[in-house]
Amino acid sequence: MPHADRVIRSQRVVTPTGVVPAAVSVSAGRITGVHERAAALSADEETDLGRVALLPGGVDIDVAAHAPGGSLRECYTHTAGAALRGGVTTLVAAPGPAEPAIVDAAALEWHRRAASAAPAHLAFLAGVTGDTTPAGIAELHAAGAAGFYCSLSDGGGPDLPAIPEGQLRSVMAELAAIPAPLLVHPEDGGEMAAHRDGDSSDPAGSRPQRAERRGLERVMAAVRATGAPTHVCPFTAADSAALLEAARAASLPVSAQTCPHYLCLPVGSAPEGGTSPRGRPPLRSEANRQALWSALLARTDPALTAVGSGHCPAAGMATLPWALPALWTEAAQRGRGLADVARWTATNPATLLGLRAKGRIAAGHDADLVAFDTAGRQPVPAESEGPYAARRLSGRVTRTWVAGRRVHPAPDREPGRERAGSPAQGPNPTAGVT
Q: Evaluate the CA torsion angle 51, 56, 57, 61 in order and state its sign.
A: negative
Q: Is the pTM of this model over 0.85?
A: yes
> Could you tell me which residues come within 8 angstroms of residue 183 by beta carbon, excluding any fewer than 6 positions away?
61, 62, 125, 147, 148, 149, 150, 230, 231, 232, 233
What are the backbone dihedrals phi and psi of residue 173, each rounded to the nearest 5 degrees, phi first? -65, -40
- CATH 2.30.40.10 assigned to domain 4-55+363-383+393-425? The reply is yes
| Range 112-134 average pLDDT | 97
Predicted pLDDT at 123: 98
**Do 57-352 and 4-55+363-383+393-425 fall under one CATH topology?**
no
Q: Domains of the chain: which residue ranges?
A: 4-55+363-383+393-425, 57-352
Beta pairing class for 18-27 and 4-15? antiparallel
Distance of CA 228 to the CA centre of its chain: 22
Residues 6+ apart with CB under 8 A from 428: none
| Cα separation values, 136 from 129, 146, 168, 354, Å | 11, 15, 15, 21
Task: Using CB atoms within 10 Å of the CB of residue 402, give its burial: 0 to 12 exposed, 13 to 18 middle, 19+ buried.
Answer: buried
How many residues belong to the chain? 434
What is the CATH architecture of 57-352? Alpha-Beta Barrel (3.20)
CA separation for the pair 280, 207 (Å, rounded): 8
What sign for the dihedral angle of Cα 360, 361, 363, 365?
A: positive
Each residue's pLDDT tens digit, 301-350? 898 999 999 999 988 899 999 999 999 999 999 999 999 999 999 999 99
Note the pLDDT tens digit of each residue in 216-248: 999 999 999 999 999 999 999 999 999 999 999
4-8, 81-85, 202-206, 408-412: least confidently modelled range? 202-206
